[in-house]
C-alpha cells in the first residue's frame, strides 16, 4: 500500500504503511490476502542511509480486510496521527460497520490512543476517512463518506466531524 513519510526534527524519516501477509493485488488494485489481516507498520529510517532505526507493527482487534491509510500528520512535538479506513472485500463490510479510524503514537512508535469512527446502523456500512487537518487546539477536522448498502438500494453520504486532541467526537455533520 501507499507509504506516508514525515521528516523528524532529528532529520530522520517517520514512515507508515499497511502490511499484509501473503498478499496480492486484485483486479481493482486493492491488496488481498487469504489471511485477511492487515497491520499498521510504523518505522524510523536513518536520514542518510535509510536504514531502519526502529520498527513497530500494530494490529488492532478487528483489523480485517483492506486497511487503508489516508494521511500521517504531526499533532505536536511528541505525538503523530495516522488515519484511514477499512474497506471490505468487494463490498463485504466485515466487521459491520466497517469503521474509519485514527491512531495516535509517540516519536518512538508507541501507542497513545486509538479511535474508530462509525455511524452505527442496522445495515452494512463502510466508513471512509478521506482527509483531515489539525485545528488550532490540536484537534482534527475530518471529512469522508459512508457507503450504505440497504435493502435494494445503496448510496454514499458525506460527513464532516471535529474531534478533540485525543480523538473524542466534539461536533459534526454526520451526513450532509
Q: What percent of the chain has pLDDT over 70?
A: 65
170, three cell numbers: 466534539
E-strand ranges in the chain read 4-7, 13-20, 23-25, 31-33, 38-45, 52-58, 66-74, 79-87, 100-106, 111-117, 124-134, 140-150, 153-163, 169-173
pTM reported for the whole predicted model: 0.76
Q: What's the mean pLDDT in 53-79?
A: 78
Give SS3 for 89. helix
Interval 91-150: pLDDT, tens: 444 545 556 778 899 999 999 988 877 655 545 566 677 778 888 988 888 888 777 665
3-class DSSP assignment, residue 162 = strand
DSSP letter for 98, please: B
Give the three-class secondary structure for 164: coil
Cis peptide bond N-terminal to 95, omega within 30: yes
Amino acid at each position: 500500500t501507499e507509504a506516508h513519510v514525515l521528516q523528524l526534527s532529528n532529520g530522520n524519516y517517520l514512515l507508515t504503511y499497511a502490511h499484509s501477509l501473503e498478499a496480492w493485488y486484485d483486479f481493482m488494485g486493492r491488496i488481498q490476502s487469504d489471511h485477511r489481516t492487515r497491520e499498521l507498520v510504523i518505522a524510523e529510517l536513518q536520514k542518510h542511509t535509510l536504514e531502519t532505526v526502529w520498527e513497530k507493527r500494530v494490529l488492532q482487534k478487528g483489523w480485517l480486510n483492506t486497511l487503508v491509510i489516508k494521511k500521517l500528520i504531526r499533532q505536536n512535538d511528541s505525538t503523530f496521527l495516522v488515519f484511514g479506513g477499512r474497506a471490505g472485500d468487494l463490498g463485504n463490510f466485515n466487521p459491520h460497520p466497517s469503521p474509519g479510524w485514527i491512531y495516535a503514537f509517540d516519536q518512538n512508535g508507541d501507542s497513545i490512543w486509538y479511535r474508530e469512527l462509525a455511524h452505527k446502523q442496522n445495515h452494512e456500512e463502510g466508513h471512509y476517512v478521506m482527509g483531515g487537518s489539525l485545528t488550532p487546539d490540536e484537534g482534527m477536522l475530518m471529512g469522508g463518506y459512508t457507503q450504505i448498502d440497504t435493502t435494494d438500494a445503496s448510496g454514499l453520504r458525506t460527513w464532516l466531524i471535529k474531534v478533540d486532541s485525543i480523538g473524542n467526537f466534539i461536533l459534526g455533520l454526520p451526513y450532509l
